[in-house]
Amino acid sequence: MTYPHWQLVPLRWKDNDVYGHVNNVVHYSLMDTVINTWLIERGGLDIENGDTIGLCVESHCNYHGSVAFPETLAIGLRVAHLGKSSVRYEIGIHREDRAEVIAEGHFVHVFVDRKTRRPKPLAGPLRASLELLRP
């Protein structure tokens, strides 16, 4: 699959579970981290003081393989759907060399006004950064 953006993420000791591999909940954290890194660095999202915030309303993950600390993962990110106030990302979690898919998932954000929690249209640098993630 084609992803316009890739980010390398090293696993941490605490990501392993008692079965000796990365626990399934870590995959969701990795997706959230890569998405929000993009939004902050490329979209100008101000997570502390901005008027607009993104709320996760849906997430899903299919697992295809197992990984463990101290591996580094290559995580691909793309936008599958860009609406007026929402975006559906697709994420591919791969081994560092990208030869093996470990997991694939999606994550849906609805962007809302920080105070009212009502949907807010995506505009400006935030929308432009999301356009860059379309395959």
Using CA atoms, how far apart are residues 26 and 36, in angstroms rounded to an integer?
15
pLDDT tens digits along 95-110: 999 999 999 999 999 9
Task: Specify the 3-state DSSP secondary structure of 49.
Answer: coil
The verdict on domain 5-131 having CATH code 3.55.40.20 is: no
- The residues, any chain, with a CB within 8 Å of residue 25's CB and separated by 6 or more, are none
Q: State how far the Cα of 17 lies from the Cα of 4, in Å rounded to an integer.
A: 31
All structural domains of the chain with their residue ranges: 5-131
pLDDT per residue as tens digits for the range 31-90: 999 999 999 999 999 999 999 999 999 999 999 999 999 999 999 999 999 999 999 999
This prediction's pTM: 0.94
Alpha-helix runs per DSSP H in 1-135: 24-41, 124-131
